[in-house]
Amino acid sequence: MDKVNAMKLLPGHPLGRTLPLLTVVMPVFNERPRVGTALRRVLKRASEQHIIVVDDGSTDGTGDALDEFACPPHVELLFHDNNRGKGAAIRTALEHAVGQFIIIQDADLEYAPEDFGKLLEPLLSEEADVVYGSRYLNSENGFAGRRRFDWGVKLLNLAVRLIYGVTITDEATCYKVFPTSLLRSMDLRCKRFEFCPEVTAKACRLGLRIKEVPIRYSPRSIEEGKKIRMRDGIQALWTLWKYRKWEGHWDRDVGEDRAVPESQQGTNTVRVR
Where are the chain's structural domains?
Answer: 7-272
**Is residue 9 predicted with pLDDT exceeding 50?**
no
The secondary structure of the chain in percent helix, strand, coil, rounded to multiples of 5, reads: 35, 20, 45
The answer to whether residues 32 and 58 touch, using CB atoms and an 8 Å cutoff, is yes
Of 186, 184, 136, 196, whose CA–CA distance to 160 is shortest?
A: 196
Question: Does residue 26 or residue 256 have the better pLDDT?
Answer: 26
**Is residue 155 predicted with pLDDT exceeding 50?**
yes
The Cα angle at residue 163 between residues 162 and 169, in degrees rounded to 5: 60
> What is the average per-residue pLDDT within 184-201?
96
**Is residue 149 predicted with pLDDT exceeding 70?**
yes
**Is residue 4 predicted with pLDDT exceeding 60?**
no
**Is residue 184 predicted with pLDDT exceeding 90?**
yes
The answer to whether residues 30 and 59 touch, using CB atoms and an 8 Å cutoff, is yes
pLDDT of residue 62: 95
d(CA 273, CA 270): 10
Q: What percent of the chain has pLDDT over 70?
A: 81
3-class DSSP assignment, residue 63:
helix
Task: Give residue 203's pLDDT band: very low, low, confident or very high (50, 70, 90).
Answer: very high
Which CATH class for the 7-272 domain?
alpha beta
Q: What percent of the chain has pLDDT over 90?
A: 71
Q: pTM (2 decimals)?
A: 0.86
pLDDT of residue 36: 95
> Which tens digits make up the pLDDT trace of 80-110?
999 999 999 999 999 999 999 999 999 988 9
Lowest mean pLDDT among 14-18, 75-79, 130-134: 14-18
Lowest mean pLDDT among 18-32, 56-70, 175-189, 250-264: 250-264
